[in-house]
Amino acid sequence: MKTDLTLDYNLARKVIGKNTAVVSISLVSNALGTQNDAKSVIKLAKKYKAITIIDAAQGIAHKKINVKDLECDFLTFSGHKAFAPFGIGVLYGKYNLLEKMRPFHFGGGMIESVNFHSSSFQNPPHKFEAGTPNISGAIILGEAINFINKIGLKNIEKYESSLVNYTYNKLKTIKGITIYKPANSQSIISFNLKDIHCHDVAQILSDKFNICIRAGHHCAMPLMSKLRVQGTCRISLSIYNTKEDIDKLIIGLNKVKEVFGK
């Protein structure tokens, strides 16, 4: 990572080479909101015939994604970051690679035939879907995708970009705040208040103002070490948020400072 909190592609060129088997990259960072140039990394990985995997969980409900344009081998996202429930998600994979892969668990619906001496499996994707699937989760995820498409990802991106800028400008008015915002961030802003633990900030905002933010290392402890912090406060903006929500947040953050005498 560079000093501007974006991915260091020069370093990527140094570490990806002939001994690289798999390259995995987040399309959008869930910790900072950085929009990574996944296409460039994939192109580099392909040079060395490495398998490429994109984690699109943080970007799927916020920007248009084209797997054919990205040319990735696999792409994944979880439903709960796209207005669906927990416990449902999507794995896209190129058919020829899915054909070569062995099933990772076994059960009804994924076998073609079985006897005491051998077994054969269904073609992809069915050989990976053993047992009773999360039917209700899949139905709701489908409706969530319809909901996103009805609004339109271009409209979502435009609205959220405006809201991110509004939030950033409001946060800058708070004394003692450190904002970890890359120039190309999307829908997420991470920050800390000087000498106040991020967990305390989140707790007071929740208890006193009914505002829910995330606090901690966001499954990115090496990043927190790089930033030299234990964790950060993370605002995750979406189409249901408004400028009034942000104004309420600013009031709440100033109250947090009062509580701690800052």
Q: Which residues are catalytic?
A: 219
How buried is residue 202: exposed, middle or buried, by Cβ count under 10 Å (0-12/13-18/19+)? buried
Output the CA angle 181-187-192, nearest 5 degrees: 40
Distances (CA, A) of 173 to 80, 177, 215: 32, 9, 21
Q: Which of 77, 101, 81, 102 is nearest to 90 (CA)?
A: 77
Q: Which helix (H) or strand (E) holds 34?
A: none
Output the CA angle 209-213-216, nearest 5 degrees: 130
Question: What is the distance between the terminal CA atoms of the chain, rounded to a whole angstrom?
Answer: 31
Contact 124/92 with Cβ under 8 angstroms? no
Compute the distance between CA of residue 172 and CA of residue 166 in angstroms, rounded to an integer.
10
Contact 196/256 with Cβ under 8 angstroms? yes
